[in-house]
Amino acid sequence: MSVPPLKLPFLDEAAARHRSRTSDEPDWLLGERLDAIRRAQELPAEANQLFTPYLDLRSARFAEIEPYAEAGVAPGAEDAALPPGASVLLHVREDAVVARVLSPEARNAGVIVETFAEALDNHAAILRPLLEGSASVPETDAFAQVARALSTLGVFIHVPDGVSLSAPIVLRWSAGTPGRGLINRTVVSLGADAHATLLEEQMDVEPERVEAAAAGAPATQCLWWGTVELHLAERATLDVAGEQNFGKATLAVVNRHATVGRAAALRWSLASVGAQLHRSRIDNLLAGRGSSVRQVEIGFGDGNQLFDLTSYTRHIGEDTTGDLLSKGVFLDTARGYIKGLIEIQQTARGTDSFLGEFSMLLTRKARSVTIPSLEIDQPDVRRASHSSSVGPIDETQIFYLMSRGVDRDTARKFIVLGFLEPVVARIPLPDAQDRLRALLEAKWPASAPIPNTTAA
């Protein structure tokens, strides 16, 4: 009764070999691709028996899509302007790196921002161990293996030992050309005692088309399929903020995989608003003693969007902490499948782990599935719990706001935005934060004026 493998017209060995050859890759990396091709072709599309009933790819028309076979750095990319308040900007537009700028601070500190092709020439000793042996993506996840097999663009970001970057690294992806898709990998490594903030922005290449697609005819789909593979050495800290606002015809497949070393701390703040189908999987490996992850993830769906959000956290080291929160708000016939699994291995004494999955349905046809699971082999925990709730907007809260002179619809909107605010408040750049607020507000169907939310 297991699920069949993924059926993707572009998944074949010749494509993997072609990509490896055109990027001049070393043999070991071709070997990685071929191993991944075999896995991607053989693995069930959902390998976890717990979650097989909630794999739904019906809205995806992969046959329409021809992924880019080559990608590279566009001329003039180094001349782009650095956004105010950022230390690094890397902008990938469709199949090309169109901007790559480092602040003097980042450059002097030895921060590396390169494509895999460049990094394998210049920093192979750092990158190779992170790519070899499939350690940095889940071995049994078919979606991750597709990226490992067929990626045409690899991005490598490295923050050396002891470097503390005060301003965020901005990684911007623009995609949306009908019928095309980018398959990519991003590897981020932080040395010991390094501290950084990463802002990942995913947007439509032509934002005005968001409106057109929402209005009617089914547009030709496009694809963005990528990984973020994080490696935090001891005592490193990394804040990752993500804003996914692709167009409504985009299929977005994201694998995020983090290995967290001794006393290192990772924070995720992820918001998803766009895409027809957003399939996301996050893996947090709390390997080092005293390592921790805090994760806040929100999805706000309307129309017939599907947010398929899975989060795995493995407690391996002693005294690790996991604090994971997912929230979904769904309008129209939008659906959210929020799946989570916390695993406390026998070695993980002193674990503190919490998993929360909360949904709000705003229309009768919307649907929410939450599966917060626990697998525990070590009872010596500080805390191991999860909670979940699904509910309508609290009428007493609406009543309270209305008694203050706010009309009903605006009151509802306030309450929903408040529900999502914990993620918004953690987006590092003020501009990006405002943009996310505007996106969430724009989801609101009614004509009521946008409330003036205050920046946190």
Partner 1 sequence: MTSTRDAVRDRREEFAFHDDLVYLHEAKRGLTRATVEEISALKNEPDWMLQFRLRAYEHFLKRPMPVWTDGLDRIDFDKIIYYRKPSEREEKSWEDVPEQIKQTFERLGIPEAERKFLSGVGAQYDSEVVYHSVKEELSKLGVVFMGTDQALLEYPEIFKKYFGTVVPPEDNKFSALNSAVWSGGSFVYVPKRVDVPLPLQAYFRINGENTGQFERTLIVVDEGASVHYIEGCTAPIYATESLHVAVVEVIALANSKVRYTTIQNWSNDVYNLVTKRAHAYRDSRVEWIDANTGSRKTVKYPSIYLREPGATADIISVAVAGKGQHQDTGAKAIHLAPNTKSRIVSKSVSKDGGRATYRGHVKVAPGATNAVASVRCDALMLDDLSRSDTYPYIDIQEDDTTLTHEATVGKISQDQVFYLMSRGLTENEAQNLIVQGFLEVFTKELPMEYAIEFNRLVKLEMEGALG
Contact 333, 276 (CB under 8 A): no
Q: Which stretch binds partner 1 (CB under 8 A): 129-137, 375-383, 418-426, 441-449?
A: 375-383
Quote the longest CA-to-CA distance of the chain: 69
Does the protein bind partner 1 through residue 190 (CB under 8 A)? no
Q: Which is nearer to partner 1, 5 or 178 (CB)?
A: 5
Q: Which of 22, 304, 373, 397 binds partner 1 (CB under 8 A)?
A: 373
Tokens of residue 399, six digits: 């009543």
Q: Which of 388, 422, 450, 451 binds partner 1 (CB under 8 A)?
A: 388
Binding mask 2-31 for partner 1 (x = CB under 8 A): x-----------------------------
Q: Which stretch binds partner 1 (CB under 8 A): 134-142, 177-185, 241-249, 362-370?
A: 362-370
Nearest distance, CB of residue 102 and partner 1, angstroms: 46
Contact 391, 419 (CB under 8 A): no
Q: What is the CA radius of gyration of the chain?
A: 21
Q: Interaction with partner 1 in 194-223: which residues (CB under 8 A)? A: none
Q: Which of 7, 9, 50, 399 binds partner 1 (CB under 8 A)?
A: 50
DSSP conformation class of 289: T
Does the protein bind partner 1 through residue 381 (CB under 8 A)? yes
DSSP conformation class of 431: H
Q: Which of 386, 421, 425, 453 binds partner 1 (CB under 8 A)?
A: 386
Three-state DSSP at 106 gives helix
Does the protein bind partner 1 through residue 380 (CB under 8 A)? yes
Burial of 193 (0-12, 13-18, 19+ CB in 10 A): middle
Three-state DSSP at 336 gives strand
Nearest distance, CB of residue 369 and partner 1, angstroms: 5
Does the protein bind partner 1 through residue 390 (CB under 8 A)? yes
Does the protein bind partner 1 through residue 1 (CB under 8 A)? yes
Tokens of residue 391, six digits: 């509910």
State the amino acid at position 55 in one-letter form: L
CA distance 344 to 411: 41
Does the protein bind partner 1 through residue 363 (CB under 8 A)? yes
Nearest distance, CB of residue 134 and partner 1, angstroms: 25
Contact 186, 155 (CB under 8 A): yes
Nearest distance, CB of residue 370 and partner 1, angstroms: 5
Nearest distance, CB of residue 89 and partner 1, angstroms: 41
Tokens of residue 185, six digits: 């990998």
Please identify which residue in the block is written with the tokens 């091709």: 37
Does the protein bind partner 1 through residue 368 (CB under 8 A)? yes
Q: Which stretch binds partner 1 (CB under 8 A): 49-57, 128-136, 221-229, 301-309?
A: 49-57
Report the residue count for the chain: 456
Does the protein bind partner 1 through residue 189 (CB under 8 A)? no
Q: Which is nearer to partner 1, 364 or 404 (CB)?
A: 364
CA distance 314 to 320: 10
CA distance 41 to 49: 18
State the amino acid at position 388 in one-letter form: S
Tokens of residue 375, six digits: 């697998």
Binding mask 304-343 for partner 1 (x = CB under 8 A): ----------------------------------------
Binding mask 337-356 for partner 1 (x = CB under 8 A): ---------x----------
Does the protein bind partner 1 through residue 140 (CB under 8 A)? no
Tokens of residue 441, six digits: 């507000």
Nearest distance, CB of residue 330 and partner 1, angstroms: 9
Does the protein bind partner 1 through residue 49 (CB under 8 A)? yes
Please state, as a whole number, how many other Cβ atoms lie within 10 Å of the Cβ of residue 181. Answer: 26
What secondary structure does DSSP assign to 340-385, as a single string?
EEEEE-TT-TTEEEEEEEEEEE-STT-EEEEEEEEEES---EEEEE
Which residues lie closer than 8 Å to 216 by C-beta, 6 or more apart? none
Nearest distance, CB of residue 351 and partner 1, angstroms: 10
Does the protein bind partner 1 through residue 366 (CB under 8 A)? yes
Q: Which stretch binds partner 1 (CB under 8 A): 112-120, 271-279, 380-388, 440-448?
A: 380-388
Does the protein bind partner 1 through residue 420 (CB under 8 A)? no
CA distance 129 to 86: 29
Residues that bind partner 1 (CB under 8 A): 1-2, 49-50, 53, 346, 359, 361-381, 383-392
